[in-house]
Amino acid sequence: MSPSAPTAPSRRVLVLDDDPTGSQCVAGVDVVLTPEGATIAQALREPGSTCFVLTNTRALDEADAVAVNRRVLEDVIAAGVDPRGLHVVSRSDSTLRGHVITEPSALADVLAAHDRDVDGILFCPAMIEAGRLTEGGIHRARIDGELVEVASTPFAADATFGYSRSDLAGFLEERSGGAVRAGDVLQVGLEDIRDGGVDRVTEILAAARERQWIAVDAVEYEDMEVVVAALARVEEQGHVLLTRCAPSFVRPLAGQHGAQVLAAEDVPGDPSRSDHGLVVVGSHVPLTTRQLERLRGRGGIEELELEVPRLLDADSRRRHLDEVVAGAREALERSEVVVSTSRDLVRNDSPDESLAIARSVSDAVVEVVQQLRSSRPSWVVAKGGITSHEVAASGLQIRRAEVAGQFFPGQISLFDPIDAPEEVLGTPYVVFPGNVGGDDALAEVVEVLARAQAASAPASIPNPATPDTTAPDTTARGDHDE
């Protein structure tokens, strides 16, 4: 049905990622956290390269999200990346949340300004690892072991990105306010992929005109590989397509096959760093709280809490931050350290004031991480989607990193910083979304990181006995949150 394994195409793949977790299905590709054209162009210098740019636009309103997408692509082209050899991906959530219509449209406008009129927009929201699958044009999510239409899930009730249709064509019509008509959406079904193969899918893709949307069925990676092979053909024929997809589809686009699951020996250790690592927790979902409990059960950690009421009090904020930083510095000399925001959410009826509270707390987390950089923790884990972006981009000031792989198939990526302050280079950085993994996942990740650092210690220094170096158990994982 499909090629035995994808091979890297000569075209470059630029992925504008609206959330920091989108690289969770690939390895050995660059992630750029500061959307500077020159830095991105450097990451795309080799033919066949893939680069993720973290735009964080799912957290922005539509107008700002459109502006960011335009600016990034324009800057990349201005920095010397030829749009004729570039495939642009708008990466978002497998549960259909995000600025689905406007972000690809903005990217198409930029390409058109450079004589690259977009014929079609591939829409492939399936994420295999999470059980988010599309068949017969209907998108479904696995909830408690059962596949249900995505419009019947809590994701569809999202306050910002809610919807009522599970059929992708109808969903596009709904989200576009009728600008995209369901009857105009081309369909690449499983029958086309599996019976007709690359030839049939090529025929469908080549028929797209004037930014026509193309809904893609996929229930396994082999389905996506057929579509990517057909995409390569139509691009060679001169057609211009861009992609809106979830994380899984990027893997075949990047010419990769299979997951890179990390064991302790795959994680770089540095004997010049502290013997202990730092876990930063901003997520408040119940799963994160359970994962913290399991990490406590592992032992060998000390916890410090950023108390939100004290952070919001101008008289106590500075003193409280100094206390937490001093305590964390001291604790890093003898144990792993967890710095978390207090578990009780502080809310306000005003959206603007609620946003101000969230920003104040986020700024506090960033400041703590900034001050702890000089302690050179052996590794850093950031728990929470927004937290992982803020800690990486502002706390550690990572400008560019390489994705080393994941701790479980399709989730929890390890970044290796390659453009960052001197004290951050060589620090394994873990992107750990809030609603991801089983109850033991955080403890398992910390165990792998601790073993890696222990293995790097000089032979003359005795290390604590540790279990055999193995990858963490990859079964029975929880929901994905991209």
pLDDT in the model for residue 346? 62
Across the range 177-206, mean pLDDT stands at 98
| pLDDT(43) > 50 | yes
Residue 281 neighbours by CB under 8 Å, 6+ apart? 288, 292, 338, 339, 340, 341, 383, 384, 387
| pLDDT(183) > 60 | yes
| pLDDT(83) > 70 | yes
pLDDT in the model for residue 459? 55
Phi/psi region, residue 185 (left: phi>0; alpha: psi -120 to 50; beta: rest), is beta
d(CA 393, CA 424): 12
How much of the chain exceeds pLDDT 70, in percent? 91
Q: Which of 336-345, 395-404, 422-431 has the lowest mean pLDDT?
A: 336-345
Residue 199 neighbours by CB under 8 Å, 6+ apart? none
Task: Using the structure block, give the residue that is written with the tokens 């211009």.
Answer: 240
Q: Indicate the pLDDT class of residue 466, thresholds 50, 70 and 90.
A: very low
| pLDDT(4) > 50 | no
Helix axes 221-236, 197-206, angle to 10 degrees: 50
pLDDT in the model for residue 140? 98
Residue 212 neighbours by CB under 8 Å, 6+ apart? 119, 120, 121, 184, 185, 186
Tens of pLDDT, residue by residue over 230-240, are: 999 999 999 99
Across the range 43-51, mean pLDDT stands at 95
Tens of pLDDT, residue by residue over 130-146, are: 899 999 999 999 998 99
Alpha helix segments (H runs only) across 414-476: 441-456
| DSSP helix/strand/coil, 82 | coil
Tens of pLDDT, residue by residue over 261-282, are: 999 999 988 888 889 999 999 8
The residue count for the chain? 482
Q: Indicate the pLDDT class of residue 473, thresholds 50, 70 and 90.
A: very low
pLDDT in the model for residue 198? 98
Fold of 264-456: Molybdenum Cofactor Biosythetic Enzyme; Chain A (3.40.980)
- The top-scoring range by mean pLDDT among 410-414, 464-468, 477-481 is 410-414
Q: Residues 194, 196, 200, CA angle at the centre, nearest 5°?
A: 125
| pLDDT(462) > 70 | no
pLDDT in the model for residue 344? 63
| pLDDT(1) > 80 | no
User: Which residue spans of the chain are classified as CATH 3.40.50.10840?
Assistant: 12-253
d(CA 170, CA 78): 37
How much of the chain exceeds pLDDT 90, in percent? 77
pLDDT in the model for residue 435? 80
pLDDT in the model for residue 5? 42
Tens of pLDDT, residue by residue over 327-362, are: 999 999 999 999 998 866 566 566 677 768 888 888
Q: What is the DSSP letter of 425?
A: T
pLDDT in the model for residue 41? 96
Superfamily of domain 12-253: Putative sugar-binding, N-terminal domain (3.40.50.10840)
User: Which residue spans of the chain are classified as CATH 3.40.980.20?
Assistant: 264-456
pLDDT in the model for residue 413? 95
Tens of pLDDT, residue by residue over 437-457, are: 899 999 999 999 999 999 987
Q: Report DSSP letters for 50-69, one per residue.
A: EEEEE--GGGS-HHHHHHHH
Across the range 182-186, mean pLDDT stands at 98
pTM equals: 0.88
Tens of pLDDT, residue by residue over 291-316, are: 999 999 999 999 999 999 999 999 99
